[in-house]
Amino acid sequence: MEENDLTSFDLEEFWENLLSERPAQIQAAFERLNSQERQAVLVHLKRMASEKGWHPQQRRSAQRALAVLTDRPLASEGSVNDVERREWTLAELTAAMHEFVRAQGWYDPDSPRPQTLRNLAISLNLEASEVLEHFQWSERLPERAALAEELADVALYLLQLASLAEIDLQEAILTKLKKNYRRTWEE
């Protein structure tokens, strides 16, 4: 976008489209930019998605935009097989989880699976119990793939619960680790 082309470019409208819930709208807003502007916007979205100080809704919107713009598989667009193997940030995993839940219709007001904090806490506990079940009657490591699946379920519910409760999970973990380092462990 050229600097002298500001008459055809409304900055507020651009950000409203970029942070919308519609992937096509997000993509269209992004495509209006040149490559240098795209890079700057991606850097800004990553900061919005991960730094303190942003409103939780702004963070979720930035996470959603990043998922769309960086070709993260959306639950409605592809299968698990479309996920490339690489490291994801907590913000990216949270955005992917929200996309999946949204695609299932579980955030809809009439959903048979209301995503309330209480329901998520119960589900988290149930999934954690399923992890424990793999070690019932044995001290040995169970089948890795089955255990990995249960641990992923626990992690997904944990990410969702933290996100909906507006808790920065990364910050909470780091704070807890600092606190634990100062703690004494009596035997």
For 102-141, the pLDDT digits (tens) are 888 899 999 999 999 999 999 999 999 999 999 988 888 8
| 8 A C-beta contact, residue 60 and residue 50 | no
Please report whether residue 182 resides in a domain: no
Q: State the amino acid at position 86 in one-letter form.
A: R
Residue with tokens 């592809």: 78
Instruction: Please tell me the predicted confidence (pLDDT) of residue 81.
Output: 40
Q: Which domain holds residue 23?
A: 1-84
- Does the residue 122 lie in any domain? no
In this model, does residue 47 exceed pLDDT 80? Answer: yes
Secondary structure (DSSP) of 67-122: HHHTTPPPTTT--GGG--SS---HHHHHHHHHHHHHHHTTTSTT-SS---HHHHHH
Rg from Cα positions in the chain: 20
Residue 167 domain-assigned? no
pTM metric for this prediction: 0.57
Assigned domain for 28 exists:
yes
